[in-house]
């Protein structure tokens, strides 16, 4: 059995309160991972082209207020 399968099986056995704690922890963990990846992408310039296109579209009046 793989580690992922073992984790999945263990999660199904958690009491409701423990599952809630795990879910909240995982959401925070995943958010931090996403934020870190986003920051790395910004620093490395991966989003530069997209940002420039958005600025160009905004200046050309191609955007609407939400």
Residues 4-60: pLDDT tens digits? Answer: 999 999 999 999 999 999 999 999 999 999 999 999 999 999 999 999 999 999 999
d(C-alpha 30, C-alpha 20), whole Å: 15
Greater confidence, 44 or 66?
A: 44
Q: Predicted confidence band at 66 (pLDDT cuts at 50, 70, 90)? A: confident
CA Rg value for the chain: 20
Phi, psi of 14 (to 5 degrees): -70, 140
């Amino acid at each position: 059995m793989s580690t992922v399968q073992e984790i999945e099986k263990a999660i199904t056995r958690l009491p409701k309160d423990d599952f809630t704690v795990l879910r909240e922890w995982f959401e925070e963990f995943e958010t931090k991972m996403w934020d870190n990846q986003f920051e790395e992408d910004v620093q490395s310039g991966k989003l530069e082209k997209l940002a420039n296109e958005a600025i160009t579209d905004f200046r050309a009046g191609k955007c609407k207020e939400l």
